[in-house]
Amino acid sequence: MGIEDASMRNGRPLSDQWADSVVVRPRTTEQHITVNKRLVLGFAISILTLIIVTAIAITLSVSFERCAAESSGTLAANGSSNSKWKQSRNANISHRDSEDGQQPWRHLRLPATLRPRHYDLRLSVSMENFTFSGEVHIEFECVHSTKLIVLHTDRLEVDKVLVYSDSKKAGAMRIQRRFHYQPKQVYVIALHREMKPLRTYKINITFHAHIEHELLGFFRSSYVLNGERRFLAVTQFSPTHARKAFPCFDEPIYKATFRVSLKHESSYQSLSNMPVEASTSDEDGWVTNHFSRTPRMSTYYLAWAVCNFTYREAVTDSGVVIRLYARPDAIQSGSGDYALHITKRLLQFYQDYFKVKYSLPKLDLLAVPKHPYAAMENWGLSVFVEQKILLDPDVSSFSYQMELTMVVVHEICHQY
């Protein structure tokens, strides 16, 4: 109540004042003129606003178009050539669409015309100058007739290419042209003659490349032992980096068997998914390890390493040999023993749980100083960064041990 009274009291003089001012305001022609002026002013302002809004809209749409063009075209990185490129792209749209059928290397995915069945891969690895050269021999089946072999390569220098037919008219097939198409990381081999469905063919490719100091493909890293820098080279192919180590059909659907052989200086040892089947020594101090044939699998599960590590070993009840490889000082101090111990128990546990036997004769765990992930579950050769597999029971915390256990449990489960 009190509040209402106050407002009434306060309101009366106010409204009186307002009424006064209204009464006092003169209704003359002068007022009409000011009203007209206001109208004109308002009209001008609204037109001006309209112009500004339109200008902003045009600017926005232009820059949006430019963004869209840049994101849709790999060639448009260069600003100055951008508009030129856009014009020619527009002019060529229909042309390029009709051409795509004959230019499958422009597609993101490989054409599904060929299917690899087996790879023979021979690599010669120089840890002196961090280069490797190789020869890959791929057996593949033709699914749909084609003159083109399109497979992945990236950062590889391809030297020689030979294509054979397995049919009655066996022998080398003539190659019309071959080239690397970098935007899609593919190598294209165009033949004179068409390959026919249900027939098998073979291709031999020799190549060479660098062992990069980068955590992808076949890469190198290093560690210090007794004040001396030591090097190792290891692979990381998941998801799409096998193509950096050898020419291949680098999509998970193209499963095949692999037989790897690695040649290197005898002061190093080498590992791969499968155990060594045979080993030969050259008189020049080089060794070649021939690994057994893998089961059918995707390219990203293939792995190998060239290092100067030592190991500790455990054998499961079903006879699977588990080895943990690490730098010699870590093995000596027993840092890998915990991971080795739980891996042995895990293999037995999973075998009982899934009722599936571990399908390879051995499992190597490799502790490397640097790795892009915590670990990678390559079949038969799992690679771990040292911090996720080595521990010192006297120093490491419980949470560190838990984290390490989770990583090992995860990677071993991948083996099934």
Ligand X SMILES: *[C@@H]1O[C@H](CO)[C@@H](O)[C@H](O)[C@H]1NC(C)=O
∠ CA 194-199-202, nearest 5°, is 80
Token pair in block for residue 120: 């023979």
**Does residue 267 bind ligand X (CB under 6 A)?**
yes
Please tell me whether 410 is known to bind a ligand.
Answer: yes
Stretch that binds ligand X, among 76-84, 288-296, 297-305, 357-365 (CB under 6 A): 76-84
Stretch that binds ligand X, among 11-19, 51-59, 131-139, 397-405 (CB under 6 A): 131-139
Q: Which of residues 301-360 bind ligand X (CB under 6 A)?
A: 308, 328
Stretch that binds ligand X, among 54-62, 130-138, 145-153, 331-339 (CB under 6 A): 130-138
Token pair in block for residue 149: 């072999």
Q: How far is Cα 153 from Cα 142, in angstroms, rounded to an integer? A: 20
Catalytic residue among 251, 377, 386, 411: 411
CA-based nearest residue to 140, from 233, 202, 211: 202
Choosing from 81, 87, 280, 318, the residue that interacts with ligand X (CB under 6 A) is 81
If the CB atoms of residues 76 and 407 are measured against ligand X, the closer one turns out to be: 76
**Does residue 278 bind ligand X (CB under 6 A)?**
no
Token pair in block for residue 239: 């998801």
CA-based nearest residue to 202, from 261, 134, 123, 116: 116
**Does residue 88 bind ligand X (CB under 6 A)?**
yes
Cα dihedral 273, 277, 282, 287 in deg (nearest 10): 30
If the CB atoms of residues 89 and 255 are measured against ligand X, the closer one turns out to be: 89
8-state DSSP, 111: P
CB of 159 to ligand X, least distance (A): 12
In angstroms, what CA-CA distances link 329 with 207, 269, 316, 333?
A: 36, 17, 25, 6
Please indicate whether residue 411 is annotated as part of the active site.
yes
CB of 84 to ligand X, least distance (A): 8
CA-based nearest residue to 304, from 253, 412, 378: 378
> Looking at this protein, which amino acid is placed at residue 126?
S
Question: Which residues are annotated as part of the binding site?
Answer: 410, 414
Question: Which residues are annotated as part of the binding site for Zn(2+)?
Answer: 410, 414
Q: Which residues are catalytic?
A: 411
| Interaction site with ligand X (CB under 6 A) | 78, 80-81, 88-89, 92, 95, 120, 126, 128-129, 131, 135, 137, 162, 204, 230, 267-268, 308, 328
